[in-house]
Structure 1
Amino acid sequence: MKRISAAVALTAVGALVISGCAADGGGNSGDDSGLVEGSSITAAWNQAFFSMNGNTSFGNATANNNINYLVLDGFNYYNNTPELVQNTSFGSYELVSEDPLTVTYTVNEGMNWSDGTPIDAADLMLYWAAESRALDTPDFDPNDFIDPETGEFTEAFPADVVFFDSGATPTSGLGLVSETPVIGEDGRSVTITYDQPFVDWELTFATMGEMLPAHIVAKKALGLDDNEEAKTALLDAIENADDAALAPISAFWNSGFNFTEMPDDPELVTASGPYMISDYVADQFVTLTANPEYNGDNAPSIEEITIRFIPDPLAAVQALENGEVDIIQPQATADITTALDGIDGITVDTSLGGTYEHVDLQFDLGKNPENIFSNPLVREAFMKTIPRQEIVTSLIEPIIGDDAIVRNSQIFVPGAEGYDESVAANGSDAYADVDIAGAQALLAQSGITDTSVCILYASNNPRRVNEFALIQASANQAGFNVTDCGSEEWGGLLGTPGAYDAALFGWQSTSLGVTNSLPTFETGGINNLNSYSSPAVDEIVSKLNVEFDEQKKIDLQIDLDTQLWADFYGVTIFQFPEVTAISDRVTNVTSSILAPTVFWNAWDWEVTDAGAEE
């Protein structure tokens, strides 16, 4: 869940991420066709890349993770079934003990970063330190050091503080691994021991798209030149809990991989996956080139993939029709589906995806001087004004017809086991229709004098512009003064104190784990962007983390869903319709309901004979 083609039922580790002939699902499975030199294709995405670290509160966005997935290798990934695939050509993991929960992760011998440096225990240990936050300075609050204009940390961030911005909490995931891992004698493995059982343990450690090069982090943070010396210094810092070294290491891990054009320092794009970033022109495109050091099973056929950033869906369709791009997955509108119907030489798939639209309300640190949504009466009033059915009827139904429905759960996907039962119990029916009179009464009762609500959304996304206009018109009837905080840089601003009062965006599922959505709602979770904190919710989360019984998991999720609606957390609106259009000059392209959707098997893509003849 920061910073979003076949319809399947999902249960709602990893976190959600902020949105935007078939392959066999397991890499190229011994396919010996090899890399086709000089081959290239272009795909389009609706938001520009801005960070090679998708594990921070700033960088956790689909626009980043689509690319990071292809440049950073890991222990497993989801195919488009969807099912979890162990990436055994990269490494392996073994459940050593269930009590205490103990797992050993081993990187295969001969796996290297793109600069030739071996991938080994130093990389695994940095991943643990960052994703567990076990070595962080206690009780440090970073909110005073976030730039409200960009969402990034300011230069005033204290240099002596150890703070990894991964959103780890001590109640879930690697936050439960407080004991420093044990490095194996081979120097390529670590054994981690959990403080208590964790139901989604298989999804917590270095899945594809996540693990950064430890030697690069240590070189930049500690002013070193030699790769092996840097790795040794990093391991010493972690194993000795050396705050003086860990402070700059954590600071570089947090921000050192943020860039919006090709960095001057080529070491910042050091890769371990089948591709590496070879070019980046600000706001225009990122080019990925086959990584010559990659020797895993997911070796690519196409030498170069360029991802163009085209926020306007109709412009993406036009680029596809003109032959400027080969693959698009734009936000779907009726105009988009109509336009695609008129193009020859393409394949189009339209279905429900794994992303859902919603409105978050800032419980604290909003833009309104009275911190308007800290008041539950105002939250309830605003929720009553959001025209959910009108949005679905006017913007989504023309695309997918009867499949367009209002989503009435914060936790369950429509059609998933538990969804109907939860909707019947969770209290979402109170917001089935707009209630202006009810909102006016609550607003008057609240005592709020400044009713301004600034909504953050993607200002360059036509559908979001229309949604904002509908919400603004409805809420203003009840006495709110809805203002426009729309921005093309909306993704980096999510969670930034003082930047907005409400946010309109999508969460995209990254896994099938039962804990997938929990970092959005638990206190301090990486996707908790609105300062929401509920002891009741935290208690449910702690139970879900250790519950292995399937029916009890569903019951707990229903309890969680009910509590979120009772707290006036915000409203869900709809499940995204997903449109994928593919030129006939590229084959083996299929989409997954989970992130990274259409990019999940880019290593299997091939340029067709038709493409070669052009």
Structure 2
Amino acid sequence: MRQPRSRAVRLIGVLAAGTLAAGLAAGCSSKNQVPSIGYAVDATIATYNGGSTLGASTGSTAVFGRVVTGFFYTGPEGQQVADTDFGTAKEVPGDVQTIQYRLNPDGVYSDGVPTSCDDLVLAWASRSGRFTKPGERGPIPLFDAASTAGYADIERVDCQPGSRDATVVFRPDRRYSAWRNLFTAGELMPAHVAARVANVPNVVSALQSGDPNALGRVAEFWNTGWNIGAGNLDLTRFPSSGPYRIESFSAKDGLVLVANERWWGNKPATGRIMVWPKNIDLKSKVGDSAAGVVDIGAGSVKDLNLDGFRVQNVPGRGVEQLVLATGGVFGSADLRRAFALCVPRQALFDKLGKVPDAPKTGLGSGPLNAHIVQQDSLFYPSVTGAAGKFAGGDVGAATQAVAASKTANPTIRIGYLRPDERRAQTVAMITEACKPAGITVVDAGAPDFTPSQLTEGKVDAVLGSTASAPGPAGSRSGVAATSALRTGSGLNFGRFGNGRYDAITDQLAADDNSTTQLNLLTEAENLLWAELPSIPLFASPRTIAFGGGLQNGVAAPNQAGSGWNMDRWVLKR
């Protein structure tokens, strides 16, 4: 069972890197293999739990995709790829959508506990949205899930505690066409750890009994028990189901991953990966020749010298955008419209979003004129009509919209995670463009910025990628982009709510008829350009660089990051 994925990874590596990779391999044959590789990526390391709001909005899957594995992972083109090392998943024919999952019989966590269907039950429970507690304005979710997309459509997960098999049965009135986005790498968490810390026999029985105290303890741990702070980690909470496991983490040295001795697949080609997140001094790491792989936002690090690296500047699957509050100064749709009219989207693309050798059509070919439809989608040319008036810099129309909003001297605070040279320039250009319309823009970027500050009213807009992530983001399926504007979604930091949009997304997820999809996407984009919960700018440009002597590096400008196949990396010097 293990061979197909490993062979696929090697094949993708050869296809993507072409003769260059082969030349590197031949040229390095007489050199010594370096025992550890430095990986610089502009995600932030905040939690092990990629399915939580914190995990999805900080880029956990770009860091832990080869530590916490699942039935599928995001490949270099943003597509979902089956990971048969972990297990198999197949759709069963029938009137009710049913998926059979079978975990690899050799699967075992690094702490010696076998993988089991309990992990699927925990993932479903935490992401389904059906477990709630009383709140001032009605029931609120027990679990702080990034999104309930797909999981909310599941009727039940049939699982005997400790079993390798699970049957996932969807509601009779629902189908979820993107089911390969469920139970994936970075999001399928170790249920036995949650059960132990929450003091329940197992997650399955806790859910079956419906004991609110037990469920509350499980949810509390799921929400925060895997968070990673500045202090020493209790590594018993962080067992691995992949080729690497955590050895240590510190704010100074970053994350150290080492080969997982209990991994049942092909052993990692390099025994140690040093992961340096966004707040590490990347210039010094590159200058000291410590970095072997760099995957960051293009232009985000000023004067970064990548001589000696094989550098690619490519448009990413993530959407560089402004996510707006729907309360406070932006409680008025007129003021959101005024801001969108003055934001210089075309000029921002020309100066900051356009990669060298940009394609004439498709991803990265111009400003992004859709919120949830990607530029290389066949539907894209047909759904972008409403974006026409928002090329940017229309001071007259923006001034009229400010007056219509009845907001005197509006001030807009734009937050983003510093340091980030490109985003600082983005805010500076918006500031100058909107000033003549009477809108004051404040740069609220900070080294400790989180998108939740938008929800808390500390800023009025977030400048980031899909789902407000600071670094790697986006996928071909676009689930996170759609979910980030859905009522009640954890990733909906601006708290936008529109019942018609929610209904459209539900139907899009279930009906793959192309005519229906086109009509629904057109309606959704018209609605979003009218309501403006966010302002799309361009496909987030990524700089991905592989050091001299680095073999099997394959760029992945999406939510998985270029560490998607880090267990195949070899560095020879």
Indicate how the Cα distance of structure 1 residues 433 and 129 shifts in structure 2: closer, same or farther if over 3 A, else same.
closer
**DSSP-derived class of the 1:103 partner:** strand
Look up the match of 1:205.
182
1:302-321 alignment runs, 5 A limit: 302-311=270-279, 316=282, 319-321=285-287
1:382 to 333, 339, 343: 339
Look up the match of 1:410.
371
1:322 to 288, 300, 319: 288
Indicate how the Cα distance of structure 1 residues 330 and 396 shifts in structure 2: closer, same or farther if over 3 A, else same.
same
Look up the match of 1:238.
207
1:53–1:210 Cα contact (<8 Å) kept: yes
1:162–1:243 Cα contact (<8 Å) kept: no
> Higher mean Cα deviation, 451-460 or 90-99?
90-99
1:542 to 506, 517, 521: 506
**Among the aligned pairs, what percent are the same residue?**
23
Return the letter of the residue paired with 1:278: E
Indicate how the Cα distance of structure 1 residues 26 and 470 shifts in structure 2: closer, same or farther if over 3 A, else same.
closer
Look up the match of 2:47.
51
2:116 to 117, 120, 123: 120
**Alignment partners' CA distance in 2, 1:142 and 1:256:** 26
Offset, 1:405:
2.0
**Are residue 166 (structure 1) and residue 121 (structure 2) matched?**
no
Look up the match of 2:321.
358
Offset, 1:483:
2.4
1:80–1:592 Cα contact (<8 Å) kept: yes
**Are residue 498 (structure 1) and residue 457 (structure 2) matched?**
yes
What count of residue pairs does the alignment treat as equivalent? Answer: 539
Look up the match of 1:585.
549
Return the letter of the residue paired with 1:199: Y
**Alignment partners' CA distance in 1, 2:356 and 2:138:** 42
Return the letter of the residue paired with 2:182: F
**Alignment partners' CA distance in 2, 1:337 and 1:98:** 58
**Are residue 524 (structure 1) and residue 488 (structure 2) matched?**
yes
Return the letter of the residue paired with 1:585: G
2:177–2:511 Cα contact (<8 Å) kept: no
Return the letter of the residue paired with 1:301: A
Indicate how the Cα distance of structure 1 residues 101 and 383 shifts in structure 2: closer, same or farther if over 3 A, else same.
same
1:52–1:68 Cα contact (<8 Å) kept: yes
1:362–1:501 Cα contact (<8 Å) kept: yes
1:56–1:166 Cα contact (<8 Å) kept: yes
**Alignment partners' CA distance in 2, 1:77 and 1:537:** 28
Look up the match of 1:187.
163
Kindly report the root-mean-square deviation, in angstroms, between the aligned alpha carbons of the 2 structures.
Answer: 2.9
Return the letter of the residue paired with 1:421: S
1:576 to 535, 540, 552: 540
1:102-141 alignment runs, 5 A limit: 102-137=98-133
**Alignment partners' CA distance in 1, 2:412 and 2:302:** 31
**Alignment partners' CA distance in 2, 1:577 and 1:350:** 7
Which ranges of structure 1 fall in alignment gaps of 5 or more residues? 1-20, 28-35, 144-160, 223-229, 365-370
2:383 to 405, 411, 422: 422
Indicate how the Cα distance of structure 1 residues 129 and 495 shifts in structure 2: closer, same or farther if over 3 A, else same.
farther
Cα deviation, 1:420-479, whole Å, max 9, x if unaligned, reads 1112x2x11111131222222221222223622211112310111111111122223222
1:42–1:324 Cα contact (<8 Å) kept: yes
Moved over 6 A (4+): 138-143, 334-338
Indicate how the Cα distance of structure 1 residues 283 and 596 shifts in structure 2: closer, same or farther if over 3 A, else same.
farther
2:69–2:185 Cα contact (<8 Å) kept: yes
**Alignment partners' CA distance in 2, 1:22 and 1:98:** 33
> Higher mean Cα deviation, 398-407 or 596-605?
398-407
**DSSP-derived class of the 1:382 partner:** helix
**Alignment partners' CA distance in 1, 2:559 and 2:323:** 21
Look up the match of 2:194.
217
**DSSP-derived class of the 1:591 partner:** coil
**Are residue 280 (structure 1) and residue 249 (structure 2) matched?**
yes
2:295–2:543 Cα contact (<8 Å) kept: yes
Offset, 1:527:
2.2
**Are residue 445 (structure 1) and residue 409 (structure 2) matched?**
no
Offset, 1:548:
2.0
**Alignment partners' CA distance in 1, 2:412 and 2:536:** 18
**Alignment partners' CA distance in 1, 2:102 and 2:94:** 18
Look up the match of 2:4.
none
